[in-house]
Amino acid sequence: MRLRLWRRASRLHAMDGFQKVLLLLMIVLSVFMLLPIVYIFNHAFKPYHELFVYPPTFFVKEPVLQNWNELVAVTARSTVPMVRYLFNSVFISGLAVLLVTAASALCAYPLAKHRFPGYKLVFAAIILTLMFAPEVVQIPRYLVVSQLGIMNTYFGHLLPLMAMPIGVFLLKQFMDQIPNALLEAARIDGANEFTVFLRIVIPVCKPAVATIAILAFQSSWGNTESSALFMMDEEMKSFAFYLSTLTNNLANNVAMQGAAAVAALILFVPNLIVFVILQGKVIATMAHSGIK
C-alpha cells in the first residue's frame, strides 16, 4: 500500500503545470458526471415532502423506506406476480447479450477478413441503418414479427434486438487491426475457419465483445417496445414495461411518485453494475476502433 501511494505521489510530482491543471479539470468533470447517479439513489429514499419541495433538494435529508413499501403494495395487487416480469427481463436480457454478440461477430468477421464481392456495399448499408430513428422501423418490425408467427413468445422479444449495427461496426473496426499473417499462420497449421474465428479472432476482440455485451444488455433490459407491440399476454411482458405502466401519466400527479422514483432506481442499477464490471473493456474498444 505504501509503495503504491509513493508511486502515485511520484507520478504527480513528475507532471508539469499544464498536466496538473488538466488532471484537476478531469476530476471535476468526473464528479460532475457522478451527480445524476447520486441523485437517483437519493431520490428513491426521499419522503413525499422532499419529493415536491421547491427548490428541489439534491440530497435526501430524512431517508425513508416508504417509497419501497408503496411499490411493493402496488405490485402485490397485480394479477401477474412481479417475479414473472422480472424473470422475463432477466431471461431476455441474458439471451440478448449472447445472441447479439454472436450475430455481430459472425457478421463483422467476413466483412473484415474476407473480401467477397460487394462487401463494401454491405458494410455501407449496415452503417446507413444507424441513421434511422427507432420509430421509423416500428411498423416493419411489427410486420416481420407478426408474419413469422412469433407474437407472445420470447423470440418475439429477441428478434428485433439481434440486429445491432453499432455492434457490427465496432467489431469490424477491431478485427481490421488483427494481422492477416496471424490468421494465415493458423490456417497453415491446419485450423479451419471456425477455429480461427473462435480461438484467435474472438479472444483478441474481447474488449469489443464486452462493449457490445453492455449495449445489448442496456437495450434489452430497458426495452418496452416489444412488450407493447408484440406481447398480448400479460405474463410475457418485461419488467421495464410493467414498471412503466405503474408510472405512466404521473408527471403532474402526487400519487405514486415515490414508487416511480424507486422504479427508476431498480431499472438503473443493473445497467450500472454491468457497466462498472466491463467499463475497462469499453475504453479499450474506443481507443482501438478508430485507430488504424
pLDDT tens for the chain, 292 residues long, are 554 545 555 666 666 677 778 888 888 888 888 888 888 888 888 888 787 777 777 888 888 888 888 888 877 777 888 888 889 999 999 999 999 999 999 999 999 888 888 888 988 888 888 888 777 888 888 898 899 988 889 998 998 888 888 889 888 888 888 888 888 888 888 888 888 888 888 888 888 888 888 889 988 998 888 888 888 888 899 888 888 877 665 444 666 777 888 888 888 888 888 888 877 666 655 555 444 4
For residue 254, the one-letter residue type is V
CB 170 within 8 A of CB 284: no
- Return the pLDDT at 287: 54
As a residue count, the chain comes to 292
Domain residue ranges in the chain: 80-289
* CA dist., res. 244 & res. 270, Å (int): 17
pTM > 0.85: no
First to last CA, the chain: 38
* CA dist., res. 252 & res. 131, Å (int): 34
- CATH code of domain 80-289: 1.10.3720.10
- Return the pLDDT at 292: 43
Rounded alpha-carbon distances, angstroms, from residue 285 to 93, 123, 198, 218, 270: 22, 19, 19, 17, 22
